[in-house]
Structure 1
């Protein structure tokens, strides 16, 4: 997840855990060992500690089908260093994110720089559209510190099973600085993806890792965390969203592309498939 994670009343995580998109130290892109990235293909699948899984693939009630997604071109994968966080309501956050089928030095550099900006901005997860690159790529490290935990790279990810058990956490997002509110998500998920070398792998995620992944996965589908909030929860951050919209207009000189004032309420992305 890009942003911060705080403990909800039912949470099993300490509020002192790393925050979503986190670290106190910066890293040099050149210091990253990409063999660690491909190692996630070899991770054993963790068993679900509780809850049962849906037998259907879950795509988060996407605003568009994965079949509609084109493959990214060389131009799509271009980026400018240093990477900067894209803030709401920039239309980049709602744009389609293309699948990746080119696994080269440029992709490795993008991954390295995403980790770099993630750590520098106090995060434990980050999606490519949040740095202005509309492709199906996310990185995260639940430990929140370079050199600690497991640095994960997931390319073209798909959730193919989600637990029935739903948990609520107070989430934040780097693209929504200073805004936090409760979001419901499945407690455990199963994922198909590719690593930075293009190798396919499957992984089971639960707890903090599942929460971070799902937040970032939503970004890859053009879904923002307030889309998953209950109406009463959304009301608690409405004023803060309006402030970000006003800042966008002041910063860019453009009219805001979307407004919470015309928002029709919680979108039908909060539901999850049941067996």
Structure 2
């Protein structure tokens, strides 16, 4: 049956949908992973969770973040995808406090470039803005599925059960590799109008959220890979580093070879053993 591979513990690239950041060509798949409450919220498929405060990690803080200024949310169209190893992807992202027409316009533009690049999720730093904003649609098709906007998101709980999944990223074109993540998460965030809400995600929506949430923490998907998996994509990462140097005339701000020689540091945040 089409899409059955989505339920396998280890996802292997589908000929139509090579990795989770690329959109499928079959109908909406949200229901394959999540059930809905009477209020229409996505709900967990498991009740075994770990509170985030019990998993303190270096670099992850629940302290109040710096507030973004109007200049921090200024942008030019069309937006462009920022690729590794641009330092924007590692910079601190500020909290949004202004929920105005400019923010709504930014969200529209982010969805637009996400669909045009065959993505299903996108964070603000990936388009050059270091603010805490993400958009995603697990279906990846305009007019289908559900467009989700999360401003200043926080993870309050995550499931103990994890799953290995083959991920890709718009900031790492052509690179796909396995990443282990919790199957479910509970999120606190604001919507596009600034209203606070809580949502529970599981399956693919939870996976996409965690990938984009990592971007808001300055964490990249290869930070969560095992040494063996990282080794398998190191040549591709080095090629992106050289591309950056050729385009900018500057030395790469990070090098995967250095990371491989050192013991891999634990990625900050939840869900990392």
TM band (smaller chain): 0.7 to 0.9
Give 5+ residue unaligned stretches, structure 2: 26-37
Q: Which moved more, 1:262-271 or 1:87-96?
A: 262-271
- Tell me the distance in 2 between the aligned counterparts of 1:125 and 1:59: 26
2:21–2:168 Cα contact (<8 Å) kept: no
Q: What are the superposed Cα offsets for residues 247-274 of structure 1, whole Å, 9 maximum, x if unpaired?
A: 0000111110010111134321288469
Q: Over residues 214-243 of structure 1, what are the superposed CA-to-partner deviations in whole Å (9 max), with x where a residue is unaligned?
A: 000000000000000011111001111000
TM-score normalised to the size of structure 1?
0.84
TM-score, scaled to structure 2: 0.84
Shift of 1:47: 3.5
Contact map agreement 1:53 1:164 (CA 8 A) in 2: yes
Report the equivalent of 2:35.
none
1:99-110 alignment, distance < 5 Å: 99-110=95-106
Cα offset, 1:67, TM superposition = 2.0
Change (3 A) 1:11 1:230: closer
Match of 1:133 among 129, 133, 153: 129
Contact in 2 for aligned 1:23/1:146 (Cα 8 Å): no
Deviating runs (4+, > 6 A) in structure 1?
Answer: none
- Residues 56/219 of structure 1: CA separation in 2 closer, same or farther (3 Å cut): closer
Identify which of 238, 251, 255 aligns with 1:255.
251
| Superposed counterparts of 1:226-237, under 5 Å | 226-237=222-233
- Residue segments in structure 1 that go unaligned for 5+ positions in a row: 1-5, 26-41
Query: Which residue pairs with 1:269 in the alignment?
Result: 267
Q: Secondary structure at the match of 1:150?
A: coil
In 2 relative to 1, CA 64–226 (structure 1 residues): closer, same or farther, beyond 3 Å? same
1:135 aligned counterpart, secondary structure: coil
Change (3 A) 1:43 1:266: farther
Q: Residue 9 of structure 2 corresponds to which residue in structure 1?
A: 10
Q: CA RMSD in A?
A: 2.7
Residue 143 (structure 1) shift: 1.1
Q: Which has the higher contact order (CA 8 A, sep 6+)?
A: 1
Matched residue pairs, number? 253
1:223 to 203, 216, 219: 219
